[in-house]
Amino acid sequence: MSTITLNTKSYVGAGILNLISIWWERSLGIATLFSQLTNRVVFQPTITTVAWKLTVPIQPADPDCCVPTVFKDTICDVNIRFDKAAPQAHRDDVLQRVQDLVASVPFETSVSSLQQQT
């Protein structure tokens, strides 16, 4: 499996388990702070689902603090459901739209400032 770089973090392929491809980012060296990236493609009779999931633990502000704050992991799910017969041009169009969405100011603002976009 290849390595995938996300925001300078290298996610190293760990293989496929139960039809799910798995990558890990382990730079912090503590298992509870490892970040996981997964991908699966599910073929059903009329729908094909492409799913990516990124799980990012929140790093403690001061790891040496005697009373660490425990946060829940941040989870990002991207699921795209295509009609099984969707043509390549349509899939390419959807890919470009998703890339443009993630690169857009409204998307950035909703994530960075937790602001509902209107």
Predicted local distance difference test score (pLDDT) of residue 59: 77
Q: Which CATH class is domain 1-60+69-85?
A: alpha beta
Predicted local distance difference test score (pLDDT) of residue 116: 85
Quick check: 110 and 116 in contact, CB under 8 A?
yes
DSSP states along 104-116: SHHHHHHHHS---
Please give the model's pTM, rounded to 2 decimal places. Answer: 0.83
Which tens digits make up the pLDDT trace of 84-110?
Answer: 999 999 999 999 999 999 999 888 988
Three-class HEC string of 62-78: CCCCCCCCCCCCEEEEE
- Burial class for 32, CB neighbours closer than 10 Å (0-12, 13-18, 19+): exposed
Which tens digits make up the pLDDT trace of 24-43?
Answer: 999 988 888 899 999 999 99
**For helices 88-103 and 105-112, angle between their N-to-C axes, nearest 10 degrees:** 50
Quick check: 54 and 37 in contact, CB under 8 A?
yes
